[in-house]
Amino acid sequence: MIEVKNLWHIYEGRKIALKDVSLTIENEILALVGPNGSGKTTLAKHLNGLLKPTKGDVIVDGINTKEASVAELSRIVGYVFQNPEHMFFEENVFKEVAFGPKNLGLSKDEIEKRVEWALRSVNLKGYEDRSPYSLSGGEKQRLAIACMLAMNPKYLILDEPTTGLDAKSAESVKEVIRKLKEKGHGIMLITHDMELVLELAERVVLLYEGIKVFDGTINEFFQLDLRNYDLDKPELLKISERLSVGFVRNINEFVTSLLRRMRA
């Protein structure tokens, strides 16, 4: 469990980015949403120790981040940055994924096992010899996830994992996220893509100007008037509301409810 307790963060130059935020993260898909500049990245960077609290505490599986290095925390919390290219530097995919486990000081055998397992988890088996920069957008994103998975973290933070991807690539990334959830990883999705939230999230935390204004189930979340927070409802939900078919999460559910309603 990750516990964020009364967290404040004030950047140099006195920008208050987080105001008294508290929340817990367990083995679930949690969506962290909010408009640009609301403090999502600032909050996420506290979970693996990249930022330390100005006030308050962040406890990761019993470890206070103030007393641990980023390297130590990287075994527990994997942070996949928004732009995967910001981390690629090796000549091939295998070496790229092996970089993290190598930093953990694992044996050669164990590193190979981890790389193989991580690549399989993100459906990139057979890409070992390709250059990371030669991959497509969706493949790059999945490779970035594999790089973190190879360190075997319990929690994964994904910053805007589908932004800028075409529909098919985005679907391949979503599939990987669902798979990871099944395997028992706790996942924090940072996004302002409400469609993605609707499809994947179980719980939603909404930040607005550095304040946690909502923390609840996905169903409750979409009952908020999102326009107050510069966000918009997914089209699917708008249509289903108009047709009063109730809360649905994807097209299949929508069609099923609609048919049921029409029969009734």
Partner 1 sequence: MMYNLYVERDSILHRLDPRVKILSSLLGILAMILFNSPYLLFILFTLLSLSLRFLGKISFKEQIKVLKPLTPLIIITIAIWPFILEPKTFGLFIGLGYALRLASMAMITFGLLMTTTQRELILGFIKLKMPYEIGLTLTIALRYIPTLFNLAQTIIDAQKSRGLELEKGNFFSKIKKTVPVLIPLIIASIKTAHELSIALESRAFGANKKRTFLYTIEMKGKDYIALIIVFLLFGLALYARYQLGIGYVKLY
CB of 231 to ligand ADP, least distance (A): 12
Cβ atoms within 10 Å of 61's Cβ, excluding its own = 12
How many DSSP H helices and E strands does the chain contain? Answer: 10, 10
Q: Which stretch binds partner 1 (CB under 8 A): 18-26, 63-71, 116-124, 246-254?
A: 63-71
Q: Is 71 in the site for partner 1 (CB under 8 A)?
A: yes
The single residue listed with the structure tokens 């969506």 is: 31
Amino acid at 148: M
* Strand ranges (E), 131-236: 155-159, 186-191, 203-208, 211-217
Tell me how long the chain is. Answer: 264
- For residue 38, the minimal CB distance to Mg ion (Å) is 9
| Binding of ligand ADP by 89 (CB under 6 A) | no
User: Residue 115 or 231: which CB sits closer to ligand ADP?
Assistant: 231
16 near 32, Cβ under 8 Å? no
Partner from Mg ion, partner 1, ligand ADP, none binding residue 136, C-beta < 5-8 Å depending on class: none
Residues 159 and 80: beta-carbon distance below 8 Å: yes
| Calpha distance 154→43 (Å, rounded) | 18
Which region, judged by CB under 8 A, interacts with partner 1, from 6-14, 145-153, 171-179, 181-189?
145-153
Among 145, 147, 156, 231, binds partner 1 (CB under 8 A): 147
Residue 48 sits in the site that holds partner 1 (CB under 8 A): yes
> Residue 27 carries which side chain, given as an amino acid letter?
N
Do the Cβ atoms of 81 and 88 come closer than 8 Å? Answer: no
Cβ 220 to partner 1 shortest distance, Å: 32
Residue 42 engages ligand ADP in binding (rule: CB under 6 A): yes
- Residues numbered 182 to 241 that lie near Mg ion (CB under 5 A) are none
| CB half-sphere exposure, 252, CA atoms < 13 A | 1
Q: Please, which of residues 2-21 interact with ligand ADP by CB under 6 A?
A: 11, 13, 15, 17
**Site residues (vs partner 1, CB under 8 A):** 45, 48, 50, 69-71, 74-75, 78-79, 81, 83, 85-89, 99-100, 103-104, 133, 147-148, 151
